[in-house]
A and B are shown apart, each in its own frame.
Chain A
Amino acid sequence: MNNPLNRNRRPGWLAGIFLTVALAAPAALQAEPVVKDGDLPMPLIERFENFGSKDGIPTHKVHAVYKTRDGHLWIGTWDGLCVREADGKFKRYGPEDGLSHKMVLCLTEDPTTGDLWVATMRGLNKFSGGKFTQYTQTNSGLPNNVVYGCDVLDDMVVVATAAGAGILNLKTGQWRIFDHTNSLMHEPWCYAVKGAKDLIYWGVWGAGVLEYDFKKNTWKEYRDPDRDFHYDLVPDDGLINDITSWLSWEDGILWQNTYFGMTRYDGRRFKTWVQDKSPLLSNFTQFVWPHRRVAWIGMDKGVSVTDGEVWVNYEVGTDGEGIRTLHQPGAQPEKTVMNTALANRFVLGIYVDDEEAWFATSDGLSRGVYATPNPYKKLPGIAAAR
């Protein structure tokens, strides 16, 4: 309750008054947007459902959220791994169940076996068929126990750790590890990793993004050309900053988060955004989840959603209300006040699919309910692969 970022916990009577006013005086509120979901490249969220300790989540801080292909929703928290059960309650798994550490940082799924890979502050875990298998720096070839990111690409599990990058070959059991001694890393602090067909991208603290072609065993480095730490002197000339806080890739597009703005790279051109010159809510971007070429960006002030042209921002108002702002080229921003908001504006993880959006925040978990159910049915041509 003392968390200054918590704006969504207000007394019930306040919510009642708010709702009454909203119903009684619709003219006083801004009208619903005239733009329909189908005209936008992304779905609009019409309300948020929030989850916390009352739902079995063991702690307020949720670091990661992931929905596996069997429909189960998993969250990684400061105090264990949780899965949402049929009754809507969350069941917790901790070190006593075989998890290597209670603080879970990243989640991903092996698409063929359904194994859930769990990155923690002390090792990597495979949760398969109800059983944990631990990979630590002492019992395996894992480069370091602090595993910030993980992904599965074909027969490989790739990791980003505090002391380098790693690739576990699932067929041979062999680990390959990379750091400043055998790759283009300037230092081994890797924050994020994503597989991209024949390539693997690592987000490296102070070294931008490294691209590894694992078939050719070659490296390519993407850096901020101006090398300036605080300013993007020349927009769109490359990465916005070398301090990569997260990255992701989908359908040929690489997205980079930094604490100084955001970058999109489609293989030919870079596009950079900062909050002063674009609708981006904040320069402090710390997570991105691309879905159908739209980036869902988590940051310290909420969520921005963009395909690079159209933007939708979700903020938490001073009274805990949700604020949705739609930015379209050549049009005035359309602001909508929502009765519900993100559980907290500090967003640490996101999962989005065609049906819903989930947000891991520093004070609970949120589900974004789309205004139009399954809006992507109208967009069959866009790749679904993530």
Chain B
Amino acid sequence: MKSRGFIITSLASVVAAGGLGVGGYYWSVAHVQRWTGMDHLGFVNCNHCHLVRVEKLPWAKERPRHPAPAGLAVSPDGRRLYIALDDVNEVAEADTATLQVNRRIKLAGGPYGLLAHPQDGRLFVTLRHADAVVELEPERLTEVARIAVGKGPVCLAYARTEAGERLIVANSLSDDASLLSLSPLAEIARPHTGREPFATAMSSDGSVAFVVGRIAETKDFVTPAASELTLIRAATGRVLKRVPLESAHLAEGLATVASRGWALTPLVKVRNLIPITQVANGWVMSSGLGITLADGQTVQVPLDEANDYFADPSGIAVDPAGRYAYVVSGGSDAVSVVDLERLSDWLSKACELTRREAVDDLSLSAEYVVARLRTGRNPRTITLSPDGRRLFVAERLADRVLVVDTATREPVGHVALGDGGVWDPIRRGESVFTKAAHTFQSQFSCRSCHPDGHVDGLAYDFDGDGIGDNLLDNRSLHGVAGTAPFKWIGSNPSVEVQCGPRFARVLMRTDPIPPDDLKDLATYLQSLPPTGWERRRDLALTPTQERGRQLFFATTRPDGTPIPRDRQCQTCHRPPLFTARIPTAVGTRGPRDATDFFDTPHLLGIGYSAPYLHDGRAKTLEELWTTYQTNDLHGVSSYWSKHQLNDLIEYLKTL
């Protein structure tokens, strides 16, 4: 009897458990379908909509900080090197003779760009996260003045003009430049620039300020990319000319050559509309140097060699004589030395057609690149001593500054700032992210398309599904933690899979990233917060934004008509990440797309990641509900007034 009872009890328990399981399954499916309004959905894990807490995400947690060098500046007498350490909120001063750090001062707000006044040595620092420029007295490095500028200032340049002394500041997040007077420190003008301005320079006569945007302008999604070089009258702020750098982006450096009237811009020559099959032929990405001549004409020449690429060129410095330009390659850990005399000779002989096609001829660099100097990990910025005899290279991921004798082109030593942080998996992951060695012939790195983990604003044609089909907008990696699955069709369940062996075969055309490196890479990517998160998260909503928030969470129209659940914003873009991580069809399928269903992107930092939709067809947020809305499938917007649309846009910018 006992065994029979046990069997009956066990069977009953199994049936009950099975019943609970089956019942629970059907209940959960019904629950999901009821609350999403999507009848096609099957079982969906609870954590798509529940149990998500921002504070638990990797990017919301405190991470190790490193003394990574950003901007560099040398005192007028050449005896002191200043180093901005944005990650630890410090500015360091080193002795250029002993290469020892004399002192480090605290300066909150992410000190990034540096400039030493050429006469009196006053130090000007851009605070990237505090949207300000501060003036430091050089002897004690104490703050004597501060001025608010645009968002995300990263670089500044100086000139003495007919109207007085001027600073031009590149504001990377507000797409503009602040023109400042020095006496008093005041903003004169804030002209718009290209997208994400990252470098500035002044002409030697002080007449023209140059600002270059590192991201290509948002255009029609099948139009070749072009970053903008903006020429501004340094005395007044008047915009003189906007020079498109054709098929170029990631322009992060600028220098002028007084003796020749040139402006030099290192750039990435991107051919995103060519199928990715062309990686093997060297036709997707290469490094170049944009030369804007005195007459405004721009010529692009290669920095790469036929079988050896020097990826992610960024900082540039030109010696006082105008003979040599030094260009760092952050992806290849090198400095390319360009003989400007030889480059000038070549230019004088080249016809217009030759000039136009020059950047595609990788054999050409042998004409003027006279040396390649090896550096530590991820050199990003570079500067010269006033006499041009010492070259200082910020090795960002090595936490040190390389010092080179320009006469011998040999290293003199390093200014050590930290230990390189190799113990930190996030740091190791960033090193993988920025290393071009993982791609065929070191043509590019992850950063080449995702500057600092963000977007380059371009659509790419991955050929695995056919040439010309399924063009895909590049998505930001900021805030990706917890937003799996990945890819626009949502087929990759994790960052490791997204960046794994298949990716290596499709894109990098080389061996996969080793497992340990891949793990570090995933750790790094998941440590990236949404763009501008720190500056937005504690701000209260304005009345306009609050109205937009109410519209976002609306469940009924103003007349009381219910909005179907599957068309309420909050259903698919569920907070706190503003994605339910479920592919949905919102009527955006294009003629060359293979599916109606696309991954639901998270909306954190959405205001900074134009263009929008899976193929980048929407250039602005407004276009999502004007030009590209189809039958109220992407939210019910047909009842919105223009006021409401504007309110919603302002709310989305706060996310």
* Interface, chain A (partner B; CB < 8 A): 69-70, 112-115, 126, 128-131, 133, 137-141, 143-144, 155, 163-164, 170-171, 174-177, 179, 181-182
Known: A139-B623, A139-B627. A170 touches B190 (CB 8 A): yes
**Per a CB cutoff under 8 Å, which of A70, A129, A163, A177 touches B231?**
A129
Complex CA–CA separation, A177 to B644 (angstroms): 10
Q: Are A129 and B643 in contact (CB under 8 A)?
A: no
**A115-B239, A128-B242 given as contacts; is B622 within 8 A of A138 (CB)?**
yes
- Chain B residues contacting A69 (CB-CB under 8 Å) are 238
Q: Is B192 an interface residue (CB 8 A)?
A: yes
Could you tell me if A171 and B642 are in contact, using CB atoms closer than 8 angstroms?
Answer: no
B628 → chain A, closest Cβ, in Å? 9
Contact B642 A163 (CB under 8 A): yes
Neighbouring A residues of B244 by C-beta, 8 Å: 131
The smallest beta-carbon distance between B486 and chain A, in angstroms, is 29
B414 shortest CB reach to chain A, Å: 41
Contact present for A129 and B242 (CB under 8 Å): yes
Q: How far is the CA of A138 from the CA of B192 in the complex (A)?
A: 21
Query: How many Å lie between the Cα of A115 and that of B189 in the bound state?
Result: 12
Q: How far is the CA of A129 from the CA of B241 in the complex (A)?
A: 4
**Pairwise interchain contact B649-A141, C-beta atoms closer than 8 A:** yes
Complex formed: what's the CA distance from A175 to B642 in Å?
11
Closest chain-B Cβ to A159's Cβ sits at a distance in Å of: 13
Asked whether B627 lies within 8 Å of A128 as measured between CB atoms, the reply is: no
**Proximity bits, B400-435, A CB within 8 Å = 1, else 0:** 000000000000000000000000000000000000
Distance in angstroms from B637 CB to nearest chain A CB is: 12
Contact B642 A143 (CB under 8 A): yes
In the complex the two chains form, is A171's CB within 8 Å of B239's CB?
no
Residues of A within 8 A of B627 (CB): 138-139
24 intermolecular pairs with C-beta atoms under 8 Å apart: A112-B188, A112-B189, A112-B237, A113-B191, A113-B239, A115-B191, A129-B239, A129-B241, A130-B242, A131-B242, A133-B192, A138-B622, A138-B623, A138-B627, A139-B619, A139-B620, A139-B626, A141-B642, A141-B649, A170-B192, A171-B174, A175-B646, A177-B643, A179-B643
Within 189-241 of B, Cβ neighbours of A (below 8 Å) are at 189-192, 228, 230-231, 233, 236-241
Question: Cα distance A130–B239 when bound, in Å?
Answer: 9
A298 to B239, CA, bound (A): 32
B650 within 8 A of A: yes
Tell me, in angstroms, the Cα distance from A155 to B230 when the chains sit together: 20
The answer to whether B646 and A171 touch across the interface, beta carbons within 8 angstroms, is: no
Q: Are A171 and B150 interface neighbours, CB within 8 A?
A: yes
Query: CB distance B646 to A141 under 8 Å?
Result: yes
Distance from B655 Cβ to chain A, minimum over Cβ atoms (Å)? 15
Give the contacts of B609-647 with A (CB-CB under 8 A): 619-620, 622-623, 626-627, 641-643, 645-646
Q: How far is the CA of A175 from the CA of B653 in the complex (A)?
A: 13
A171 touches B190 (CB 8 A): yes
Whether A114 touches B239, Cβ cut-off 8 Å, given contacts A140-B622, A141-B649, is yes
Q: Is the CB of B650 within 8 A of A128?
A: no
Chain B at the A interface: SS class = mixed
B-chain residues with CB within 8 Å of residue A182 when the two chains form the complex: 643
Q: Which residues of B are found within 8 Å of A171, using beta-carbon distances?
A: 150, 174, 176, 190
State in angstroms the CA–CA spacing of A143 and B643 once bound together. Answer: 8
Q: Which residue of chain A has its CB nearest to the CB of B649?
A: A141
Cα(A131)–Cα(B195), bound, Å: 14
Are A128 and B623 in contact (CB-based, < 8 A)?
no
In whole angstroms, how far apart are the Cα atoms of A138 and B626 in the complex? 5
Report the bound CA distance from A70 to B376 in whole Å. Answer: 49
Q: Distance (Å) between the CB of B555 and the closest chain A CB?
A: 23
On chain B, the residues within 8 Å of A113 by CB distance are: 189, 191-192, 237-239
The residues of B that contact A114 with a CB separation of less than 8 Å are 233, 238-239
Most buried by A among B544, B646, B650: B646
> Would you call A128 and B191 a contact (CB within 8 A)?
yes
Are the C-beta atoms of A129 and B240 separated by less than 8 Å? yes
Residue of B nearest to A141 (CB): B646
B529-561 CB contacts (< 8 Å) to partner A: 544
- Closest beta carbon of chain B to A128's beta carbon, Å: 5
Chain A: CB-nearest residue to B643: A177
| Minimum C-beta distance from B638 to chain A (A) | 14
Pick the contact of A137: B190, B544, B626 (CB < 8 A). B626
Residues of B within 8 A of A141 (CB): 622, 642, 645-646, 649
A-side contacts of B228, CB under 8 Å: 131
Which listed residue (A70, A129, A131, A177) contacts B646, Cβ 8 A? Answer: A177
In the assembled complex, how far is the CB of residue B494 from the closest CB belonging to chain A, in whole angstroms? 36
Q: Which residues of A contact B150 (CB under 8 A)?
A: 171
Within 8 A of A (CB), among B216-274: 228, 230-231, 233, 236-242, 244
Contacts of B236 in A (CB 8 A): 112
Q: Which listed residue, A70, A137, A181, touches B643 by the CB 8 Å rule? A: A181
CB-contact partner of B642 in A128, A129, A130, A177, under 8 A: A177
Nearest chain B CB to A216's CB is how many angstroms away?
15
Give the Cβ gap from B6 to chain A, nearest Cβ, in Å: 72
Selected contact of B238 from candidates A112, A130, A175, CB within 8 Å:
A112
Q: Of the candidates B176, B241, B619, B646, which one forms a contact with A130 in the assembled complex, judged by CB atoms under 8 Å apart? A: B241
A69 to B228 alpha-carbon distance, docked (Å)? 24
Q: Which 9 A-B pairs have the closest CB atoms?
A: A129-B242, A138-B626, A114-B238, A112-B189, A113-B191, A129-B239, A131-B242, A141-B646, A129-B241
- 15 more contacts with CB within 8 A, not counting A128-B191, A129-B240, A137-B626, are A70-B238, A112-B188, A112-B189, A112-B238, A128-B242, A129-B239, A131-B242, A139-B622, A139-B626, A140-B620, A141-B645, A144-B642, A170-B190, A175-B646, A177-B643
User: With A and B bound together, what is the CA distance between A130 and B230 in angstroms?
Assistant: 10
Which residue on chain A has the smallest CB distance to residue B545?
A: A174
A145 to chain B, nearest CB (A): 11
- Chain A: which residue is nearest B244 at the CB level? A131
Min CB gap B264→A, angstroms? 19
Chain A min CB distance to B161 (Å): 15
Give, as a whole number of angstroms, the nearest-CB distance from A44 to chain B: 33
CA distance A363 to B619 in the complex (A): 39
With the chains together, A379 CA to B370 CA distance in Å? 65
Q: How far is the CA of A175 from the CA of B622 in the complex (A)?
A: 12
Q: Are A128 and B626 in contact (CB under 8 A)?
A: no
Closest to A113 in B: B191
- Determine the distance from Cα of A226 to Cα of B643 in the docked complex, in whole angstroms: 33
Interface centre among A133, A143, A174, A182 (most CB of B within 10 A): A174
Which chain A residues border B240 with CB–CB below 8 Å? Answer: 129
Q: Considering the chains assembled together, what is the distance between the CA atoms of A290 and B182 in angstroms?
A: 36
List B contacts of A175 (CB < 8 A).
Answer: 646
Q: Which residue of B lies closest to A155 (CB)?
A: B190
Give the distance in Å from the alpha carbon of A138 to the alpha carbon of B617 in the complex.
Answer: 13
Identify which of B233, B239, B641 gathers the most chain A CB atoms within 10 Å of its CB.
Answer: B239
Measured CB to CB, the nearest residue on chain A to B230 is A129
Chain B: CB-nearest residue to A129? B242
User: How distant is A112 from chain B, measured CB to nearest CB, in Å?
Assistant: 4
Across-interface contacts of B643 in A (CB, < 8 A) = 177, 179, 181-182
Nearest-CB residue, chain A, relative to B618: A139
Min CB gap A215→B, angstroms: 16
- Minimum distance in angstroms from A137 CB to a CB of chain B: 7
Bound: A177/B645 CA distance, A = 11
Chain A residues whose C-beta falls within 8 Å of the C-beta of B237 in the assembled complex:
112-113
Closest chain A residue to B189, Cβ basis? A112
B544 → chain A closest CB, angstroms: 8
CA distance A140 to B625 in the complex (A): 11
Distance of A119 from chain B, by nearest CB (Å)? 17
**Nearest residue in B to A164 (C-beta to C-beta)?**
B642
Bound-complex Cα distance A139 to B623 (A): 5
Q: How far is the CB of B296 from chain A (nearest CB, A)?
A: 9
Which residue on B lies nearest to A174, using beta carbons? B650
Instruction: Mark B504-522 against chain A: 1 for CB-CB distance below 8 A, else 0.
Output: 0000000000000000000
Contacts of A128 in B (CB 8 A): 191-192, 239, 242
Tell me the bound Cα distance from A174 to B325 in angstroms.
41
Q: Which residues of A contact B650 (CB under 8 A)?
A: 174
Chain A residues near B641 (CB-CB < 8 A): 181
